[in-house]
Structures are given as C-alpha cells and as structure tokens.
Amino acid sequence: MQRASLPERRATAWHELGEVYTREKEHDLAFEAHAEAGRERAKTPQAQRVARANWRAHADMVRALPDTLLGGKPSASSQRPRPAFLIGFPRSGTTMLEQVLAAHPEIVTTDERRFLFLIRDRYERRFPMGATLAEKLAAIDAPTRERLRADYFAAVAAALPAATRALVLVDKLPLNLVDLPWIRAIFPDARVLVALRDPRDACLSCCMQDFVLNEGMIELLTLEGAARFYADVMSIWLGLRDRIGLSWLEVRYEDTVQDLEAAARRVLAFLAVSWDERVL
C-alpha cells in the first residue's frame, strides 16, 4: 500500500481535530481546523492532478444548450425498474432521502455509483476531440437511446441484482445535476428528485468533509470555493428547471427533518409508489 503524503496525513488530522472541537462546541476552533485541513489537502498530489477547467467547460456547454435539446413532455414507459434520479448539491440531504427511499420494498437505490457517467463516457468516445455537448446529444436517436438504456440497466443489474425486481430504481449521485441534459436524452421518462438545503448549511458542511478529490470536490476545500461552486451548480439547475423536459420535484432538507412522514408521502406519490410505513 502506498504511504500517504505528509499533506494528506496533516489534512486528515486537522479534520479529526475539527470534529473533536465540534463535539466540544468550540466552533471557532473547529472552523479553523477544517479550514487548515482544506489548505493541506490542496497541497496533495491528488489535488495537483485535478483539472479544474474541465468542469467549468462542461458547465458552460450545459448553459448554452438550445431548447430543442431540452424541451418536450416526459414520455411514459412501462419498463421496470422505472428510472429516477436523486440529485442536488453535496450535503443537501441526498443521503438522508436515499435512506428513506431504500427502506421501501419496491425501491432500490444506487448509493452514489457512477452508472450514468460510465455509459456517457463510453458513448462520448465515438466523437472527435472538440465535439460539443450539443453535437453529442443531438446524435442520440431512438436506436442509440435504447442501446444506452440497455447498457445502463445491464450495468445496474450486474452491480445490484435486486434492481431487476424493483418497481423504481433511484440513481443517487448529487452532481448528476449537471448531467441533466444527458438524463433527458437517454431517460426522457425519468423522474428527478432535487435535494435543496439552506446554502449556508450545505457549504459549511461540505468544508467539514474529507472528500475524495475530483473536478467537483476540489472546489470544496475552502468556504469561499464552496460558495462559488454552489452558485455555479445551482444556477445550472435554476437555468434548466423550467426548460428541461423532465418530471421533477424539489425536496427541502429542512422540510424532511421537520416532518419526515409528510415529506416521504410527497416523494412516494411523485414516484407513483404506494405508501409503506417502513420508510419512517
């Protein structure tokens, strides 16, 4: 096993110290400890390898998509399991909502596996370097859509055999939010759950986590970076919300905490799944 670098070990130690301070209600010290962890994590080899510009370029292409690639009414499908996607900014309640849904006997959840990314990545390799997102989406005709769906469900079944017997599959990966156009192109019948939380709580909570770094998570090493990233990600949702031809429901973390049963009933009704007490 490769030995962790000194900045990695320091980052882990600072995060652990921050948790200790939090339990002791030493909030100023906790904040500074987590901030120091972020500064150390930024020095690690993993952080140096992350290509920040890739995410920005993708976000810009999503914003520039024409309505012709986004609109239309959701199509009905009798396919099982029915696809649903649980998205939102990290630390906005997606895990809590997933746990509620996973307790339902007719629902299977994915626990942040990158199924959509895998089939999207394989499809994108067909295109020459420099092809735009709009060009890739426009090339998804009906036969291509069916092939991509089949590949997706085959990957899910291989990893989660129980999904083949489920009524609804909930694919939970928060930052699939920026891939909503892909979801629209491949799964026009999908239902989308969007987790929302007070941005102050979401951003602060992100800075207190020791995430594995990638193009998104590297933005969460500082509170300022988390705030900018939140604004970027959620502006994509606000820009797509009334344009995307998908059935969607926003679910607020605060509402779920205040009245779990009411929130759960609302979500299950949206997913067209019968009520079951086990979700409580």
pLDDT tens column, 189-220? 999 999 999 999 999 999 999 998 988 899 99
Name the residue among 258, 250, 233 with its Cα closest to residue 196. Answer: 250
The amino acid sitting at 119 is I
Determine the Cα–Cα distance for residues 238 and 175; give it in Å rounded to an integer. Answer: 14
User: Could you tell me where the DSSP H helices lie in 64-141?
Assistant: 94-102, 115-124, 133-138
Structure tokens at 33: 């400890």
Q: What is the pLDDT of residue 162?
A: 93
Determine the Cα–Cα distance for residues 66 and 60; give it in Å rounded to an integer. Answer: 12
Q: What is the pLDDT of residue 79?
A: 74
Angle value at C-alpha 237, between 189 and 266, nearest 5 degrees: 60
Q: What is the pLDDT of residue 103?
A: 98
Name the residue among 39, 42, 36, 43 with its Cα closest to residue 17. Answer: 36
Q: What is the pLDDT of residue 76?
A: 64
Determine the Cα–Cα distance for residues 40 and 47; give it in Å rounded to an integer. Answer: 10
- Residues in CB range of 113: below 8 A, 6 or more apart: 159, 171, 173
Residues 166, 106 contacting (CB under 8 angstroms): yes
Q: What is the pLDDT of residue 54?
A: 75
Structure tokens at 198: 């007070």
Determine the Cα–Cα distance for residues 34 and 36; give it in Å rounded to an integer. Answer: 5
**Beta strand extents in the chain (DSSP E only):** 82-88, 107-109, 168-172, 191-196, 247-252
Q: Indicate left, alpha or beta for 76 from its phi (over 0: left) and psi (-120 to 50: alpha).
A: beta
Q: What is the pLDDT of residue 151?
A: 96
Q: What is the pLDDT of residue 78?
A: 65
| Residue segments in the chain with a per-residue pLDDT below the cut of 50 | none
250 φ/ψ angles, rounded to the nearest 5 degrees? -85, 135
DSSP 213: P
